[in-house]
Amino acid sequence: MTVWFLENLEKFIKSDPSTSRMPPICVTFGSPLVGDFIFNHALRRESWSHYFIHFVMRYDIVPRVLLAPLSSIEPELKIILHFLNPKHTTPMPEPTEEASALYVTVMRNASSVASHAACHLMGNTNKLSDTLLSFVELSPYRPFGTYVFCTGDRELVVVKNPDTVLQILFYSSQLSSEVEGPEIALRSVKDHLNYQSDLQNLETKGVAHLDNLQGLPLSSNVGAAGLGLVLNNLGLSTRARPCLCAAGELEDQKWRNLEKINKKKIDIERGLLALEGYKTRCEAGRVSYYDAFKLSKDTDDFNANVKRLELAGIFDEIKEMLKRYELPDEFEGHREWIDIGTRYRRIAEPLDIANYYRHLKNEDTGPYLIKGRPKRYRYTQRWLEYALKISAGSSGESCFWAEVEELCLRTINMGLFEDVKAHILSLEKQVDKWVQDRELGDDIFFEDSTFVKWWKTLPQLHRSGSCIAKFINN
Amino acid sequence: MSQFSLFSSGIELANLVVSSGLLKLSWDKISELYTELNQSEEIRWKVYQQPQSNCIIVAFVVSPNRTKQLLEEEELVPSSSLPFFHFLRTKIDSSFSISKAAVTLFDCVLDQLSSFKDRVGNSISMIITGHCLGGSVASLFTLCLLKSINQPGTKRPLCITFGAPLIGDKGLQQAISQNLMWNSDFLHVAASQDLVPRFFISPYNPNAMEIDSQIGIYKPFGIFLLCSKYGCSSLEDPEAVSEVLVAMDLEIARNKPPNEQWHMFDYGAVVKRLMSTISFKGISQLSEMIECPRQAGIVLQLQAIGLNRRQQSGDSNPLIAKLEKCEEAFVSKRKMGFDPSKKLNKRKEDMAKLEWYKKVSKSEDKGYYDSYKNRGSKKDLHVVTFKKSLTNYWKEMVAEVERMPQKEEASFRTRWLYGGTNYRRMVEPLDIADYYKENGKKDYKANGRSEHYIKLEKWLEEAGKPLSSQVITRKQNVSASLTEDSCFWAHVEEALIQCELLRNGQEEESTRKKLIEFEEYVMEQIKEYAVSPEIFLGGSSFMQWWKDYEQIVGTSYKSQLTDFMKSRLYQQYH
């Protein structure tokens, strides 16, 4: 619901900028998990995750239930939910047995999820943890937003890092001893009803933030005060602590990576300016830089190629980091990076296309758009499409030349205009729009450009009625 | 510091394995199979289909009596007599040995297993499991499966052994552990109370420690899940596994009478206990002194496997330091691992520079081959630098491919072959130029050619697909493309030498024959549009040869090539 609201909020603000609305806030108490890892990633990309605050009692089973596959807990869950239903009229005996069964199953599955995540957080390099996934079903549900854990000892612990939340969800309900078993199991059910009483006297409670996980005491003997006490109150064992450290470290590492990438902006800017200068110089000679690059006759073309490769190196590195989630989730939503990415894509991709068709790579690899397009352009295009909230693939102006090359080949090889007519019409329509929106330069209309030369081979009848005829000297 | 060296994830991985329930699932099948084992049977195996999933379990058990017999033999069988496992060999470390006990048992069921393997294919998930020597057989069977899983989309098998003895030497360990995927396909469960997993590595076993004998010492591979009554942990680095197995042996021997009767160890109880402790915090404690999470991880691991109980006094266990060292070395080895994609863009820049060099040389009517050979200007010297970095890159790449087991190698090759071929065609001529610059040097192909060019060319041939298929497209593009035979210039240099010989009146007959062969070779290349038109540039060595040759053979001599050259048809070759 809040997600829907947030999505529409931007539209409201756009439609009527005078009203500065308060963004909504979503507060839940003992809510089951809602989304998967991607959901969390997407909310953080939009910087929305701080609008969600989830209160969770230390033992409450409900927020943890979906860490187990539903099929494994269905019968017990039914009875427990019935018990928890405030409207159930007939008094019901405490579901001791079901609570125990549910607790054990949920904990076992939560343990799998938490350990699998911890292996990743700790940078485990072996593939066993992934191989196991083809044999066992791991719940896809993951926490998102800010969590507030109620330790039951007049303390609230605020946790923002979703990786940490996941670990705490498991570790904080572990038992200290076997005797505790049945009691805690029952408590895990009853805690779900205790939010009101526990949160009543909020002003008497201490609030601790578990944000900086670096200096975390690893030994549970350090428990007199401070962070150590908080961890002990949450019941986090010695084993849990390296996991929390790892979650914090991974997050920090992401920000350090971002810093590293931000430092490259200077190099990128230099490269972009060089390519833009190259384009302008070509245009001064009434040649599209695409065509000039495809011929690669002059030193200037060669220098542009070196710049193209330098930039490719940087953007490939960014792409690799994104693929491995090594940059903060917010990265793909950074205005500045979206702009740089778009500028890069528009200026550099035509050169990659020129290079591709110059070396006839289409002959053994297939059309550029299908097999040859480097991922760095797919990524940067997606950034923009997310930011503008337009459908995937609708910002394909940087692939214009690949479309032209393929159409050239098709009209030469098959000769039949009718077969490709629909394709040509749609490209012309797009070109009209791209040029008017200044997403595509008008250098494509130079007299000797590959595009114009090809376009002029089309039937006269078609050309005279075309929406781009106005751009081309006939 | 990077993420990878800060933490030790052994405990978490072990915990994942336990809570996945796969140990219990596998062990249940094994104990079921034991009840079906006949008195007279040596080994028994069976396939269990899992209800409601596309997963099967293949279990192996071996009769306890036979086990006892076989464990007495520590003999190893060298890979030369194991044709079935030849695919594991790499070109660099080509030999390994496998325990005779395991091979003997495996041979008993090999035929049945082969036909089973052909029947099920690679599309379903398979757990291969076994106890004790049954585990050894399970490992060998899994190795066979690895041979045929390479295409993406095929399911990786998982081998889970319980209390299996070590089965191979350092060679086998290297063959498996250098492949990240392969090594992770093996999970060996070893309880501290069970002697068998460390039987062949135990300092108390005189046979296993014989260093001077021909038999190599047994080495672990795969991931080990070590458990004690305190918990469990997993170890991946084979060095660390060896250390810990030996330490466990010493620890247990301290507490047990040495001549205790050997018996089959029951893993059912171990698995059950591990499962039941998932919800517990455990009793592990850390001293307040420890601040580094990795060290904490290692201490917790040792506590879990029962090796860190005895010193409460604070003097640290030497094993901790050892394991920390192991982990560090292991991780840095991994990180050092050659990642070709990282430097790829840099090398592309080098190639672009070379391409430009080629272009400039062409405009000087020389061709980059001769331009480089003469070293007339500053730009020729620059080339040396990026030629060197390119050569280093591809030499390393080829060496890396060589280290891979043959199966993996094939898929790797196809990905890099395009770049490799371009590199070879562009750079090898420069090496040839260097070679013949030294006076009196002859026969580059036999004496001067670097191994990595030979490999790259061989792989292209084996790939079977010519890079640009049709002559017509080659014709369209010949002016921009590189000469396909990267040794073309070596042929030209040889022909030049032969002309020189003829002029000095030596070796008349055979030399002429060689020159005619060269003519035919060149004509063939021209017809196929396989040579770059740059060879016809005024200052090229090829044209130099033609001038020499034309003089030698005189005007009356006629052949396809002389026609082509005299009529200046080559001017239209582009």
pLDDT tens string, chain B, 574 residues long: the values are: 344 457 888 889 999 999 999 999 999 999 999 998 888 888 889 999 887 777 899 999 998 888 887 877 767 777 777 777 776 766 555 678 888 888 888 888 888 888 887 777 667 889 999 999 999 999 999 988 887 665 556 678 899 999 998 888 888 888 887 676 788 899 999 998 888 888 777 766 655 555 544 444 788 999 999 998 888 999 888 888 888 888 888 777 776 665 556 678 889 999 999 998 888 887 777 776 677 788 888 888 888 888 875 544 455 677 888 888 887 777 777 666 556 666 777 888 888 888 888 888 888 888 899 999 888 788 888 888 889 989 998 888 888 777 665 555 666 666 678 888 889 999 999 999 999 988 778 889 888 899 899 988 888 887 765 544 556 666 666 666 788 899 999 999 999 988 888 888 766 788 888 888 999 999 988 888 888 888 888 889 999 999 888 888 888 888 888 888 888 888 777 6
User: Within 13 Å and on the Cβ side, how many CA atoms surround B141?
Assistant: 36
B410 and B429 both lie in a single domain: yes
Q: Is residue B456 part of a domain?
A: yes
Check CB contact under 8 Å for B12 and A119: yes
pLDDT, average across residues A365-385: 89
Check CB contact under 8 Å for B21 and A108: yes
Q: Are B305 and B226 in contact (CB under 8 A)?
A: yes
Check CB contact under 8 Å for B17 and A128: yes
Check CB contact under 8 Å for B22 and A136: yes
Chain A contact set for B278 (CB, 8 A):
107-108, 111
> Residue B313: its pLDDT value, please?
43
Check CB contact of B17 with chain A, cutoff 8 Å.
yes
Q: Is residue B288 part of a domain?
A: no
Q: Which one-letter amino acid corresponds to residue B566?
A: K
Q: Mean pLDDT: which of A217-221, A288-292, B465-469 is highest?
A: A288-292
> Residue A15: its pLDDT value, please?
52
pLDDT digits (tens, 9 = 90+) for B72-83: 776 777 777 777
Whether the per-residue pLDDT at A20 is higher than 60: the answer is: no
Q: Are A445 and A471 in contact (CB under 8 A)?
A: yes
Between strands B76-78 and B97-99, the pairing is antiparallel
Torsion of CA A119, A123, A127, A132, to 10 degrees: 10
* Residue B155, min C-alpha distance to chain A (Å): 8
> Residue B339: its pLDDT value, please?
63
Which domain-ending residue is among B257, B283, B309?
B283
Check CB contact under 8 Å for B12 and A115: yes
Beta strands in A97-180 (DSSP E): 141-142, 146-150, 155-159
Can you give the residue ranges of every domain in chain A? 1-237, 252-366, 396-473
B354 and B261 both lie in a single domain: no
User: Which CATH number is B160's domain given?
Assistant: 3.40.50
Higher local confidence (pLDDT), A14 or B121: B121
Q: Is residue B519 part of a domain?
A: yes
Three-class secondary structure of residue B266 per DSSP: coil
Q: How far apart are CA B27 and CA B4, in angstroms?
A: 33
> Residue B429: its pLDDT value, please?
94
Tokens 């230390």 sit at which residue? A58
Q: Is residue B325 part of a domain?
A: no
User: Which residues have a Cβ under 8 Å from the Cβ of A254 and sit 6 or more positions away?
Assistant: A325, A326, A327, A328
pLDDT digits (tens, 9 = 90+) for B168-196: 888 888 888 767 678 889 999 999 888 88
Three-class secondary structure of residue A206 per DSSP: strand
B422 and B570 both lie in a single domain: no
B417 and B520 both lie in a single domain: no
Q: Which one-letter amino acid corresponds to residue B514?
A: K
Which domain-ending residue is among B431, B464, B497?
B464
- Closest residue in chain B to residue A213, using alpha carbons only: B293
Question: What is the radius of gyration, based on Cα positions, of chain B?
Answer: 32
Higher local confidence (pLDDT), A442 or B541: B541
B436 and B503 both lie in a single domain: no
B176 and B209 both lie in a single domain: yes
Q: Is residue B313 part of a domain?
A: no
Range 123-182 of B in CB contact (< 8 A) with A: 125, 127, 155-156, 158, 180-181
Question: Where are the alpha helices (H) located in B91-154, listed in sequence order?
Answer: 100-120, 133-148
Check CB contact of B269 with chain A, cutoff 8 Å.
no
B344 and B424 both lie in a single domain: yes
Q: Is residue B351 part of a domain?
A: yes
Q: Are B23 and B53 in contact (CB under 8 A)?
A: no
Instruction: Note down the domain range covering B177.
Output: 5-149+156-283
> Residue B144: its pLDDT value, please?
83
Q: State the best of B19, B154, B289 to mutate against chain A, taking most chain A CBs within 10 Å.
A: B19
> Residue A256: its pLDDT value, please?
92
Which domain-ending residue is among B283, B309, B328?
B283
Chain B contact set for A219 (CB, 8 A):
285-288, 290
Total number of domains constituting chain B: 3
Residue from the list B7, B19, B125 with its beta carbon closest to the beta carbon of A134: B125
Q: Report the sign of the C-alpha dihedral through residues B310, B315, B320, B322, in that order.
A: negative
Tokens linked to B141: 């069977």
* Residue A136, min C-alpha distance to chain B (Å): 6
B422 and B476 both lie in a single domain: no
* Residue B177, min C-alpha distance to chain A (Å): 11
Q: Is residue B492 part of a domain?
A: yes
| Phi/psi of residue A418, nearest 5 degrees | -60, -35
Question: What is the radius of gyration, based on Cα positions, of chain A?
Answer: 29
User: Which residues have a Cβ under 8 Å from the Cβ of A262 and sit 6 or more positions away?
Assistant: none
Whether the per-residue pLDDT at A269 is higher than 90: the answer is: yes
Check CB contact of B187 with chain A, cutoff 8 Å.
yes
User: Which residues have a Cβ under 8 Å from the Cβ of A229 and sit 6 or more positions away?
Assistant: A223
Check CB contact of A298 with chain B, cutoff 8 Å.
no
ipTM of the complex: 0.83
The two most distant CA atoms of chain A are separated, in Å, by 91
Q: State the best of B2, B3, B425 to mutate against chain A, taking most chain A CBs within 10 Å.
A: B3
B451 and B508 both lie in a single domain: no
Can you say how many angstroms the Cα of residue A244 is from the centroid of all Cα atoms in its chain?
A: 22
Q: Which one-letter amino acid corresponds to residue A245?
A: C
Tokens linked to A362: 């289409």
Check CB contact under 8 Å for B352 and A313: no
DSSP B196-265: GGGTTT-TT-TTTT-SSSSSPPPB--SEEEEEETTEEEEE--HHHHHHHHHHHHHHHHHHS-TTPPP-PP
Three-class secondary structure of residue A31 per DSSP: coil
**Residue whose C-alpha is closest to residue B400's, from B330, B328, B452, B457:** B452
**Residue whose C-alpha is closest to residue B4's, from A119, A245, A128, A122:** A122
* Residue A241, min C-alpha distance to chain B (Å): 8
Tokens linked to B183: 């090594």
**Residue whose C-alpha is closest to residue B20's, from A4, A128, A354:** A128
Q: Percent of chain A, pLDDT > 90?
A: 30
pLDDT, average across residues A403-425: 79
Q: How far apart are CA B200 and CA B208, in angstroms?
A: 5
Range 500-559 of B in CB contact (< 8 A) with A: none
Q: Is residue B296 part of a domain?
A: no
Q: How far apart are CA A8 and CA A112, in angstroms?
A: 37
* Residue A130, min C-alpha distance to chain B (Å): 9
Q: Are A221 and B288 in contact (CB under 8 A)?
A: yes
Can you say how many angstroms the Cα of residue B180 is from the centroid of all Cα atoms in its chain?
A: 9
> Residue A472: its pLDDT value, please?
80
